[in-house]
Structure 1
Amino acid sequence: MNLFACLSALLLLRSALAAPSWSATPILPGSIPLAVRTPYLSAWLPQGGGQALNDVWPQFWTGSALGWTGFVNVDGASYTFLGNPNAPHSQKAVQKSFEYTATRSIFVLSAGAVDVTVTFLSPVEPANLLVQSIPFAYMTVSVASTDGRSHDVSIYSDISAEWVSGDDNLAVTWGTYQLNQIVHEIQLNAQQPFTEVNDHIQHGSAYYAIENDGDVTFQTGADQDVRNQFALNGRLANTQDTNFRAINNNWPVFALSKHLGTVGSSAVPTTFAIGHIRDPLIEYVVAGGTVEQRSSYFWSQLNSPASVIDYLFQVYPASVKAADQFDAKIKADSLKISANYAAITTLSVRQAFGATEISIRKDSHGNYDTNSTLVFMKEISSDGNVNTVDVIFPAWPVFLYTSPVYGKYLLDALLQYVATGLYPNKWTVHDLGSSYPRALGHNDGNDEAMPVEESGNILIMALSYTQKSKDLSFIKTNFQYLDQWTQFLIQDSLIPELQISSDDFAGHLANQTNLAVKGIIGIRAMAEIANLVGDTARRANYTSIAASYVQKWQGFATAASRQHLTLAYGQDSTWGLAYNLFGDKLLGLNLFPQSVYQMQNDWYKAVINPFGVPLDTRNTFTKSDWTIFTAAIATEPAVRDSLVSAVVNFIGGGHTDAPFPDLYETGDGRAYGFRARPVVGGHLALLALM
């Protein structure tokens, strides 16, 4: 057994010893996605040592509690299946299993003589902008008898007002309306558009809904009162509490229940929809410095929250079918690499898309213009910036794999700002604003300076989008700026000045080997872009420059031992993950010689730790996105698989209870604060190469 296999076996044993009594498929992650659709609809179930669905409260991505409760009443006896309400008249159902796919998290619990299957579906349909733009998720509860007898069953669920603010001391109002659905609507009394508190938006409304068919009841009121009403009676009182108050003042909850009647061995489902709508969605600076207020894409076809919710229930069967197809595809494609790889990719998709929102503006007649579509991404957890280029770039593989045009809409938001002429620097902008959801640009040019990093990123993404989509419009429209940034890279990428890279937390460094790779690939990418638009002179010039830079770079960047690349030129004892070589493979350039890839491949064998290869010699931590980028360019399947296994060992080993952190120690698996970030889209790097 080789070193990689020994490490993997040891860590899997450690994980098994800490495993809960119920089964987890494919692995048990640190945090389980429940309703993950936008930066503000992002509910998770923390794990760590293995918490059942009814052991703890769901959490917002930051770790703050979100009240979300579920009960099933079986022949008069009440069982909790969701949340931790400590209800005196209810006992806990017993979790039997958990499974996740790319779009769903599925729990099976035993409640007396019935099994309760709870399926959380967060649709991922980036090619369907209407569905993808709706900030709602589904919870379907199915009940079936397990003892061969029929039972009288009712289902209950509520949410708290914690879904509308990051400050539980603030006052909220609410209401309930009945149309095709029964819908609870909750909002802050004092709305603050475009403002966050503890990363929660302070604007808009939360909604909780169920189809208004059969024996459906509702109630609003203090948490214990409402839950006891159901536990003791199996139904709600159809009453509304109108004593509007603070979120934490007798904790108002918003409950729905359905009497299923007699339930046998055939599963009987009930579906709830949960969401958060705000309008306007985002501020965005346009030509002349004017700030426009943009709305969610779905308003182009749906004209009210009630119509949104009605549409959600209408398309639910189609959403399930689409989820089935998407889940099957990503699993099958990932299994071509390994089961471990499938465990990573399927966990990453909802998190990546959950940082994005699709926007449109109104035209001069006040009509929503779908031709103005832009996608905005929040740099969740690490900074809160809008459309950070070096956050979009590591996430880029998930967009190339699922819907390249979705990625283009992210780039369009950046390039349209640059085209206003408001940004003064000769390199590309780092982000569109320092605080989501205000995309107000950096007209003073004082954004975080990553000139080589971001310019190279944009060029690589521009060409890869064009190659995948066969659409030349993006590079034609933005040719002027792409060429401008190439001119900068020619000046500064072979020997990069003192600056930071995407790994800004590691600090400034001059002559970064890996950063130079990014810039050189960017130059060569522009040669291909020029060729695609018929500019053969530029193609020849940039191709020649890039080739000459590679030769010089090899002399600068290779350690005297000839065993590895250095972290920075001339620092022979240093090294790092040369993950930027992924761009060469992604674009099919074959710019860097195979000997460089083989040298690095062999070096990683010698320096891998239990949870991966350190990012570089300045620290012992690593990043999961760059680890998978590196795995994608490994020259041996054994090295590729070892890097993939290291990521699985971290996220499945009980080392964190946060939504997939991407920064952690390679020695002990200790995670840092990078939780729930969209960069996990980079875990699909091997799929983007298919």
Structure 2
Amino acid sequence: MIKKIKTIFVLLGVFLSSCNAQKEEAHLVSGLRAPAYPLVTIDPNTSAWSYTDNLYDESVKHWTGRNFPLLGVIKVDGQLYRFMGKEEVELLSLAPMGDNLAWNARYITAAPNANWNTLEFDDTGWRDGTAPFGTKVNEPRTVTNWEDEKIWVRREIVLEEDLIGKNVYLEFTHDDDATLYVNGMEVVNTGNKTGKNTKIKLSDEVVKTLKKGKNLLAGYCHNRVANGFFDFGLFKEKEGQTFFANTAKQISADVQATQTHYTFTCGPVELKVTFTAPMFLDNLELMSRPVNYLTYEVKASDKQEHQVEIYFEASPNWALDSPLQESTTEAFEDNNLVFLKTGSKSQDILGKKGDDLRIDWGYFYMVADKQNTTYQIGESSAIRASFIKNSEAAVEKGTGKNQLSLTKKITLKNEYTDKIMLGYDDVFSIQYFGENLRPYWNAEGKSSILDAFHKSYDQYNDLIAKSTVFDHKLMSDFSEEGGQAYAELCALAYRQAIAAHKLVKAPNGDLLLLSKENDSNGSIGTVDVTYPSAPLFLYYNPELAKALMNFIFYYSESGKWTKPFAAHDVGTYPLANGQTYGGDMPVEESGNMLILTHAIAKMEGDAAYAKKHWSVLTTWADYLVENGLDPENQLCTDDFAGHFAHNANLSIKAILGIASYGKLAGMLGETKVADKYVAIAREMAKEWKRMAKDGDHYKLTFDKSNTWSQKYNLVWDKIFDMDIFDVDIAQDEIAYYLTKQNVYGLPLDSRETYTKSDWIFWTATLAPDVETFKKFISPVHRFMHETTDRVPMSDWIYTDKANRRGFKARSVVGGYFIKMLESKVK
């Protein structure tokens, strides 16, 4: 049965009657040093993070790693303190990346002779190609198709000057391993990992080799599995003036589920800055509203009066795919609010698809109450100088690289609290089988972004209070259920998981919560991304779990997808016009859909959703009966590790998918159907045990002894008490896993030292008690706290070193919530 749990918001009346929730330090402070701190989290396009310990150490960045410049400076009695972001130093292109301007090179896919990476090497016999190089089927930005395992690339460049004494950077994107050279000197060796738009500063020794005339950039890339991509370029810093060199001193940083809190000292005043995304999953209009808050609270530490000015500056990059694109800017007032607006000049709505992209249609807004606020649009040096000099530069409008700035002037006598709002109007969000769909908050096109900002402004006090209560409850409840480390990881995962989706309404009225496969291949609505992320949505609102699946059901039921198993995806983000992934995952995706449909029925206590889709569920269940016990050579959700036959964990998924169908039939009163399919599943489970047994544990594949893997799919058998597999299987596996853990967690299987952090949480939930559960979670927490790869949480990480293998900012961290899902089901 499902526990009848009161919604968290019933606590608000009691809580707010006793204290002011904005001022109350009610939450349990997180001790996690996040690999990256969520700042503005709306959707895959508007997702901004701080990649450093201090908010002012680097520029604010999009999840892809591109700069989303957002500056914050406080002036106290004339003294400047930069507390957010870093003045962006413009990089001038010496050899552009292919995503900005295609470049030509010589390449080969068989191992070359020695010294291939030097300018003098004779590359006769090499092929001519245009970058980027990649697998076109899954990497839409590819120009030259590369499907071989390895590639060697020689790129001659001509410099107009010697670069001695200059700050020079190499930028590169690679999938997978890459080694890069400048004039024969190795400057990058990534090892076994992927990365996008990584920048490194070249050493003085390397820069000395960059002479006027011909030079050589050379690179090697190894595509281990599935997608391949390779691109690199050279840049130098533009010399210019720095206005805000002096920084505040950051005292603390604290990540909660809906808020990120910072505290600074700025001379005689204390400054608190909080980023809030009020993403409550039981309020779809609010969850999808594209407005976040930045609250700032200034307090005089010495109790004296001070003249204070707070300055915020944003860049047009927030509304551009590439900083080289032209933008338009404007400022205007509407009732009590001032709006600063920027967007691309071209406005090619839904004109691009892919992974390493940023939105370049619609408009970014920075908004504030106009009382005591001045605003400027102009070239960065001009508006920064005017802030320093207390002058007001003319407000400009038009194209170019105009920055947006807001300044609030305060006579501080004790303390002062105010806010700005940051948001994005994408106009149209998703193309769904040929039809452009608006975001859910404006699905009918009857509202406007101005209305959304005014509503957010008016609801500010209430929403900040609710966010505080929500954050406190999550940390408290999750700590009690799984420990402090578990709570801190789930708090960090909350906004990341939600913001990797876009909520829209289908033409038939269905809710569609469409994921973007971030830092992978950019697929939209991927079923094997839905599967691991679903626990978050099942826990808070099963209607959103349905929204993760509705488009896959429609794809089959409409006849657009005709295969007897579930599709992998419905396109490449943001174009959901049909599967674009290069391979099917028949057992994987069919099992996922059946298990999650059963999960929805269990959470709701009603199988009506399954009944609505019964015909296609039957087709998928029968496919698994025929093909699921001993899967043939095929892809599964862990396709990055390679695909193979006889996958024991995939077999578990198939068996539980069949069992889920039987259980659903029972809920619908179809007793004979229920008995038949549950009996089939139990018989298959007995055979599975015989085939997979390998002494004190169970195999990775049925045909290979002395192997092992995480059997995380078993978790549903436990959560829903399905009684399909013998309970001793999970007991034996958990005991065995504890002997295989490394410092940063349990490897995915016996082949490699890397793991998937989301699957560890599923495996840990199989543990018989909370103390054993914590033994699996603690190493993951340690990894996130210590990793040197400062990106939004990665789910594909090494367990023996503090590095990610690949992936970041993905929705699958919603899977961390599976322990809480178990606690809700009895």
TM-score, structure 2 length as denominator? Answer: 0.75
Kept after mapping to 2: 8 A contact 1:295/1:361? no
What is the CA–CA distance in structure 2 between the aligned matches of 1:607 and 1:639, rounded to whole Å? 14
Work out which of the residue numbers 198, 213, 232 in structure 1 matches 2:389. 232
Which residue is equivalent to 1:59? 61
- For 1:591 and 1:471, the matched residues in 2 are separated by 21
Contact 1:29 1:654 in 2 (8 A): no
Answer yes or no: is the 8 Å Cα contact 2:517–2:529 preserved in 1. yes
CA shift digits 1:511-538 (9 cap, x unpaired)? 1100000000000000111111111111
Q: Aligned equivalents of 1:543 and 1:361: distance in 2? A: 34
Larger % of helix: which?
Answer: 1
Q: Does 1:149 align with 2:304?
A: yes
Aligned partner (choices 681, 684, 691) of residue 556 of structure 1: 691
* CA drift at 1:361: 5.2
Deviations 1:3-46 (A, max 9, x none): xxxxxxxxxxxxxxxxxxxx983210111111112001100101
Is 1:258 aligned with 2:411?
no
Letter in 1 for 2:395: Q
* 1:445-456 correspondence runs (5 A): 448-456=583-591
Q: In structure 2, which of residues 243, 247, 254 is the aligned counterpart of residue 88 of structure 1?
A: 243
CA distance in 1, matches of 2:511, 2:805: 35
CA drift at 1:381: 1.1
In the other structure, the counterpart of 1:430 is 568
In 2, are the aligned partners of 1:24 and 1:98 still within 8 Å (CA)? Answer: no
For normalisation by structure 1, the TM-score amounts to 0.90
Question: Which amino acid in 2 is paired with 1:44?
Answer: W
Residue in structure 1 matched with residue 275 of structure 2 by the alignment = 120
Deviation digits for residues 229-280 of structure 1 (CA, Å, limit 9, x no counterpart)? 11221x744x3223512x4xxxx2101111122331x3x1121111121122
Q: In the alignment, what sits opposite 1:9?
A: none
What's the RMSD between the two structures over aligned residues? Answer: 1.8
Aligned equivalent of 2:456: 312
**1:648–1:89 CA distance, 2 compared to 1 (3 A):** closer
What is the aligned counterpart of 1:176 among 316, 331, 334? 331
Q: Report 1:70-469 matches (<5 A).
A: 70-85=72-87, 87-88=242-243, 91-179=246-334, 180-194=336-350, 195-196=352-353, 198-212=356-370, 214-233=371-390, 236-237=392-393, 239-245=394-400, 247=401, 252-264=402-414, 266=415, 268-285=416-433, 291-299=434-442, 300=444, 303-336=447-480, 337-360=482-505, 371-433=509-571, 435-442=572-579, 448-469=583-604
How many residues align? The count is 638
CA distance in 2, matches of 1:302, 1:327: 32
Give 1:605-620 correspondences, 5 Å limit.
605-620=738-753
**Structure 1: distance between partners of 2:446 and 2:712:** 43
Q: Secondary structure at the residue paired with 2:739?
A: helix
Query: Which residue identity lines up with residue 526 of structure 1 in the other structure?
Result: Y
The offset of 1:554, in angstroms, is 0.3
CA distance in 1, matches of 2:29, 2:588: 39
Residue pair 2:305, 2:411 contacting (<8 A) in 1 also? no
Residues 28/302 of structure 1: CA separation in 2 closer, same or farther (3 Å cut): farther
1:471 Cα deviation (Å)? 4.3
Partner of 1:32: 37
CA distance in 2, matches of 1:174, 1:522: 53
- SS of equivalent residue, structure 2 residue 73: strand
Q: 1:588 to 1:211 in 2, by over 3 A?
A: farther
Alignment of 1:483-502 (within 5 A): 483-502=618-637
2:563 counterpart SS class: coil
Asked whether the 8 Å contact 2:524–2:569 carries over to 1, the reply is yes
Give, in whole Å, the separation in 2 of the partners of 1:446 and 1:188.
30
Choose which of 729, 744, 767 in structure 2 pairs with 1:634: 767
Extract unaligned runs of 5+ from structure 1: 1-22, 286-290, 363-368
Letter in 1 for 2:610: I
**Residues 447 and 425 of structure 1: CA distance in aligned 2, closer, same or farther (over 3 Å):** farther
- Could you give the per-residue CA deviations for residues 368-395 of structure 1, whole angstroms, max 9, x where no partner exists? x8x4432211111112111100001100
Letter in 2 for 1:69: L
- 2:323 corresponds to which letter in structure 1? D
Determine the structure 1 residue equivalent to 2:122: none
Question: Residue 669 in 1 paired to residue 802 in 2?
Answer: yes
TM-aligned CA distance change 1:614 to 1:75, over 3 Å: same
Quote the Cα distance in structure 2 between the aligned partners of 1:253 and 1:446: 39
For residue 457 of structure 1, report the CA deviation from its aligned partner: 0.6
CA 1:93/1:196 → structure 2, altered by over 3 Å: closer, same or farther?
farther
C-alpha distance in structure 1 between counterparts of 2:254 and 2:532, whole Å: 27
Among all aligned residue pairs of Structure 1 and Structure 2, give the percentage whose two residues are the same amino acid.
29
Give the deviation of 1:90 after TM superposition.
6.0
* Structure 1 position 301, deviation (Å): 8.0
Per the alignment, residue 288 of structure 1 pairs with none
Q: Provide structure 2 residue ranges, at least 5 long, that are not aligned to the other structure.
A: 1-27, 88-240
Using the alignment, how far apart are the partners of 2:610 and 2:58 within structure 1?
49
Partners of 2:430 and 2:794 lie apart in 1 by 26
Please give the per-residue CA displacement for 1:530-568, whole angstroms capped at 9, x wherever unaligned. 111111111010011011001110000111xx2111000
1:526 to 661, 683, 696: 661
Question: How many Å separate the matches in 1 of 2:661 and 2:506?
Answer: 31
* AA of the residue aligned to 1:640: F
**Structure with greater Cα Rg:** 2
CA displacement, residues 300-334 of structure 1 (integer Å, 9 cap, x when unaligned): 48622211111111122222122122212211221
Contact 1:460-1:587 within 8 A present in 2 as well: no
Cα 1:130/1:568, change in 2 over 3 Å: same
Whether the 8 Å CA contact 1:126–1:402 is kept in 2: the answer is yes
Cα distance in structure 1, aligned partners of 2:757 and 2:698: 20
